[in-house]
């Protein structure tokens, strides 16, 4: 992901969680977090438990998220080059605080600095009280955002917004429910291949369709039931729909070309034979304790090779939900 994509993703999250935009710049954004975002991003569980127990108005944190540090640094250097440094006014020696050596104390060595710290100088983000964090691909804060979106968006229920309220009131358009499951399939050995699949089961007919996400493109969805619409009673339960998806995945995997697994087994056998020949010669002539240690190392090495080369197929549900769509 480049900086533009990261910024677009972060702004969508901030907008959807109701955060207040204080300042927006092509390279950064300063926001005041909403209670929902503050709970998930600041790790202040004790504070929020206090707010929930006492009922006091919550005070959320503000952050400056930098999406393009290089651009921001270049702008700061260009601005500094255009503005000549102002000469510092002379200080009154009588107002200086002297240290034990007779030299004036400044910055963090001052008495106030010792006890209260030194406040940051005003910069492009205000008086230095708002934390500044880089949100670039691979950064800890962006990874936290990914995990947050993954957790809160694992299960959804959305309704299609009708094109015209008149058509809905006239009864020409009913809504049918679909269980949508996005599945990740991993084919692993000493090499790995990942596949992403989207399946949907029409709960009114039990029919399964693949690539359902493509059919959702362009549809306007809302988490609330639109007015003057009705949802058809499902004929298939969610448990049955889940079974339909599982059976379809099993049939699909059986049709795969599994020559890769056979080749992986052959590589595994070759590696095990090589390790066995090595340790069979290595344990000869060893004493009991040394032989036992070599045997344990031998078994551990065989287990590592088995984990590395043994072919396996795994299927994981990434996310899913109920989609209530207008009947064609």
Q: What is the DSSP letter of 299?
A: H
Report how far residue 220's alpha carbon sits from residue 161's, in angstroms, rounded to the nearest whole number.
6
Is residue 55 within 8 A of residue 46, CB to CB? The reply is no
3-state helix, strand, coil in the chain (%, to 5): 45, 25, 35
The ranges assigned to domains in the chain are: 3-79+114-148, 155-328
The Cβ of residue 205 has, within 10 Å, a number of other Cβ atoms equal to 11
Q: What per-residue confidence (pLDDT) applies to 2?
A: 85
- From first to last of its 328 residues, the chain has per-residue pLDDT tens of 788 898 999 999 999 889 999 999 888 999 999 999 999 988 898 999 999 999 899 999 999 999 988 888 888 888 888 876 554 455 544 444 444 444 454 444 443 333 333 333 344 444 447 888 888 888 898 899 888 888 887 888 999 888 764 444 444 457 889 999 999 999 999 999 999 999 999 999 999 999 888 888 778 888 888 888 888 888 999 999 999 999 999 999 999 999 999 999 999 999 999 999 998 888 887 788 888 888 899 999 999 999 999 999 999 998 899 999 887 6
- Three-state secondary-structure class, residue 262: helix
Sheet of 312-326, strands arranged across:
208-210, 192-202, 175-188, 312-326, 155-160, 221-222
pLDDT for the residue 123: 40
For the beta sheet containing 62-66, the strands, ordered from the edge strand earlier in sequence to the opposite edge, are: 20-24, 28-32, 62-66, 132-134
Cα separation of 209 and 211, whole Å? 7
Bridge partners (DSSP) of residue 177 are 324
Instruction: Tell me if 167 sits within 8 A of 227, measured CB to CB.
Output: no
pLDDT in tens, 34-47: 999 999 988 898 99
Phi and psi torsions of 109, nearest 5°: -90, -5
Contact 207, 196 (CB under 8 A): no
Q: How many CA atoms lie within 13 A of 27 on its CB side?
A: 13
What is the model's pLDDT at position 286? 79
- According to DSSP H, which parts of 135-258 are helical? 140-152, 165-169, 212-216, 238-254
- The answer to whether the beta carbons of residues 157 and 321 sit under 8 Å apart is yes
pLDDT of res. 94: 45
Phi, psi of 87 (to 5 degrees): -70, 135
The pair phi, psi for residue 291, each rounded to 5°, is: -65, -40
Other CB atoms within 10 A of residue 201 CB:
26
Q: What is the pLDDT of residue 89?
A: 55
Distance, in Å, from the CA atom of 181 to the CA atom of 318, rounded to the nearest integer, reads 8
> Could you say which DSSP state residue 205 is in?
T
What whole-number distance in Å separates Cα of residue 178 and Cα of residue 157?
10
CA distance 254 to 265: 18
Q: How many CB atoms lie within 10 A of CB 204?
A: 18
């Amino acid at each position: 992901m480049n900086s533009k994509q990261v910024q677009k993703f972060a702004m969508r999250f901030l907008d959807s969680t109701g955060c207040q935009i204080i300042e927006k710049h092509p390279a950064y954004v300063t926001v005041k977090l909403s209670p929902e975002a503050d709970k998930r991003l600041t790790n202040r569980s004790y504070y929020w438990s206090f707010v929930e127990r006492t009922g006091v108005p919550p005070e959320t944190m503000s952050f400056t998220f930098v999406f393009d540090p290089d651009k921001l640094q270049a702008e700061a250097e260009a601005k500094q080059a255009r503005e000549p440094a102002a000469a510092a006014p002379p200080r009154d020696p009588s107002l200086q605080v002297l240290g034990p050596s007779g030299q004036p104390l400044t910055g963090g060595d001052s008495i106030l600095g010792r006890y209260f710290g030194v406040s940051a100088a005003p910069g492009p983000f205000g008086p230095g009280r708002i934390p500044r964090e880089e949100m670039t691909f691979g950064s800890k804060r962006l990874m936290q955002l990914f995990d947050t979106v993954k957790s809160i968006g694992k299960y959804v229920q959305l309704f299609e917004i009708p094109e015209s309220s008149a058509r809905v009131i006239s009864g020409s358009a009913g809504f049918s429910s679909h269980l949508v499951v996005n599945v990740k399939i991993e084919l692993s050995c000493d090499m790995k291949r990942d596949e992403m699949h989207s399946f949907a089961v029409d709960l009114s007919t039990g029919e399964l369709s693949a690539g359902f996400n493509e059919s959702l493109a362009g549809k306007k969805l809302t988490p609330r039931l639109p007015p003057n619409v009705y949802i058809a009673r499902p004929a298939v339960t969610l448990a049955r729909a889940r079974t339909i998806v599982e059976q379809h995945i099993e049939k699909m995997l059986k049709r795969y070309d599994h020559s890769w697994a056979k080749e992986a087994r052959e590589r595994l056998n070759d590696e095990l034979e090589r390790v066995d020949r090595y340790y069979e010669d290595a344990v000869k002539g060893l004493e009991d304790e040394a032989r036992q240690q070599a045997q344990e190392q031998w078994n551990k090495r065989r287990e590592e090779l088995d984990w590395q080369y043994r072919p396996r197929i795994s299927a994981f549900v990434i996310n899913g939900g109920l989609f209530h769509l207008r009947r064609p």
